[in-house]
Chain A
Amino acid sequence: MNKLLSEQDLQNQVDKLPDEMTPQRDLWTGIERAIQTKQQDEPLFESSTKKVFVPAAWAASLIAAVLVSWVSFSPQQESIQVVQNNGTLLNLVIAMQDNFKQTKQTMLVSFGQPNVSELPQEIQEELLKISSAQKAIEKALIKDPSNNDLLNLLGWTQKQELDLLTQLYSPKWQSI
């Protein structure tokens, strides 16, 4: 029967483990091929931007579609009354939008006032979808400014737009 190795002996063996091992096959050829393929496929923006961009824009479009139909089919008479009763809350919505516009402007200035129209068509369309979603939510909020879900949605779409602008124009991230 084997004697049990002492902790110290085990540690000594661990300390002696080599910090390098040689792979049995050539790895560089595959790496080189992958690098070249990625370079050819790489569009103007990194794929990570697109990965986040598409779901955000998709979600915003969906919200917009739902809200537009909701606004179109809900009774007008009731909404006027609600607006009158919720003047203060409406001011909150206006303040949110003002604050968003100001933040966006400051952000764009800090990125050197990039020209959004120079973005690829596909990305411009996605930004447009987010903007449409915001407008639909605003419209819905005019009818029902006390609706917390709508307020949260508005905040969410605003944040999405700011996040996307950051991803598109800010310097690249610092670590993997």
Chain B
Amino acid sequence: MDNPKVIYIENCAEHPIVTSPELDEERVMINLAQQGDQQAFYQLYQKYHRKVYAICWRMLADKDSAEDVCQEVFVQLWQKIANFRGESKFSTWLHSVTNNIVLGHLRKHKNWLQRIFSIEEQTIQEVPVEMEDSSGLSILDLHISRLPERARLVFVLFAVEGYRHEEISKMLDMAVGTSKAQYHRAKGLLREWVEI
């Protein structure tokens, strides 16, 4: 008999608990990692590090920083995983943990001139984007990485990750209107750059 992908283990009329072998395995891994099992934590790393790295890369637009921050996410995750209570999906929780760490990293590494004068980096990378890029990234990702920092962050958070402008304005400490303006700016640049 084929294993169904989704099994209802407790079919309560109001709140059926949906599970699957994959989710069950993940719960076990989380539980073990919460008790300090490094092997279980490694399984979680194996499952999620590519997703975490993708978020880091898109927001930081730099391979080395993305790799460093991705490591930082998992080191902090190891320390804080006991706080995960399963009230949301683990992937959702990890996603928001990652965003917080990336934004913290950006704040910490803002150069002193930007800190003092609040100057936004305006430069747009002039490096032409090759259609066949050796790093295996999509063309759109390469164009996103050319966007100025604030426009890039807003675009990634809004268009790719699905946050609302109200949420983004809080995350990036900017007005809602600024977030919308940066999004339109990013969209305009990308529409120009991406070839049909």
Query: Are A and B co-members of a single complex?
Result: yes
- Give chain A's interface residues, CB within 8 Å of chain B: 2-7, 9-11, 13-14, 16-25, 27-28, 30-32, 34-35, 38, 46, 172-176
Q: Is the beta-carbon distance between A13 and B140 smaller than 8 angstroms?
A: yes
> Hey, which chain A residues are within 8 Å of B42, CB to CB?
28, 32
Q: How far is the CA of A172 from the CA of B81 in the complex (A)?
A: 11
Count how many chain B residues have C-beta atoms less than 8 Å from C-beta atoms of the other chain.
Answer: 43
User: 7 additional contacts, CB 8 Å, given A7-B187, A23-B53?
Assistant: A22-B50, A23-B50, A27-B67, A28-B42, A175-B93, A176-B97, A176-B100
Give the Cβ gap from B38 to chain A, nearest Cβ, in Å.
7
Q: How far is the CA of A24 from the CA of B49 in the complex (A)?
A: 12
Q: Is the beta-carbon distance between B70 and A20 smaller than 8 angstroms?
A: no
A4: nearest chain-B partner, CB-CB: B191
> Hey, which chain B residues are within 8 Å of A35, CB to CB?
38, 41, 75, 78
Is there a chain A Cβ closer than 8 Å to B176's Cβ? Answer: no
Q: How far is the CA of A51 from the CA of B190 in the complex (A)?
A: 44
Given contacts A10-B190, A176-B100, contact A31 B141 (CB under 8 A): no
Give the Cβ gap from B87 to chain A, nearest Cβ, in Å.
9
Is there a chain A Cβ closer than 8 Å to B1's Cβ? Answer: no
Give the Cβ gap from B36 to chain A, nearest Cβ, in Å.
9
> Hey, which chain B residues are within 8 Å of A5, CB to CB?
190-192, 194-196
Chain B contact residues: helix, strand, loop or mixed: helix
Chain A contact residues: helix, strand, loop or mixed: loop
Given contacts A5-B191, A21-B50, contact A176 B75 (CB under 8 A): no
Select one of A4, A18, A23 contacting B70, CB under 8 A: A23
Q: Is the beta-carbon distance between A174 and B83 smaller than 8 angstroms?
A: yes
Q: How far is the CA of A172 from the CA of B51 in the complex (A)?
A: 27
Q: Is the beta-carbon distance between B192 and A18 smaller than 8 angstroms?
A: no
Q: How far is the CA of A14 from the CA of B141 in the complex (A)?
A: 9
Q: Is the beta-carbon distance between B63 and A17 smaller than 8 angstroms?
A: no
Q: Is the beta-carbon distance between B191 and A21 smaller than 8 angstroms?
A: no
Q: How far is the CA of A21 from the CA of B136 in the complex (A)?
A: 9
Within B52-99, the residues touching A (CB, 8 Å) are: 53-54, 57, 63, 66-67, 70-71, 74-76, 78-80, 82-83, 85, 93, 97
Q: How far is the CA of A27 from the CA of B42 in the complex (A)?
A: 11
Q: Is the beta-carbon distance between B71 and A175 smaller than 8 angstroms?
A: no
Give the Cβ gap from B163 to chain A, nearest Cβ, in Å.
14
Q: Is the beta-carbon distance between B71 and A34 smaller than 8 angstroms?
A: yes
Give the Cβ gap from B16 to chain A, nearest Cβ, in Å.
26
Give the Cβ gap from A80 to chain B, nearest Cβ, in Å.
53
Q: Is the beta-carbon distance between A7 and B83 smaller than 8 angstroms?
A: no
* A-contact 0/1 string along B143-157, CB 8 Å cutoff: 000000000000000
Q: Is the beta-carbon distance between A23 and B191 smaller than 8 angstroms?
A: no
Q: How far is the CA of A24 from the CA of B53 in the complex (A)?
A: 10
Give the Cβ gap from A32 to chain B, nearest Cβ, in Å.
7
> Hey, which chain A residues are within 8 Å of B93, CB to CB?
175
A36: nearest chain-B partner, CB-CB: B38
> Hey, which chain A residues are within 8 Å of B159, CB to CB?
11, 14
Given contacts A21-B137, A35-B38, contact A27 B70 (CB under 8 A): yes
Q: Is the beta-carbon distance between B83 and A10 smaller than 8 angstroms?
A: no
Select one of A18, A24, A30 contacting B71, CB under 8 A: A30
Q: How far is the CA of A24 from the CA of B67 in the complex (A)?
A: 8
Q: Is the beta-carbon distance between B160 and A38 smaller than 8 angstroms?
A: no
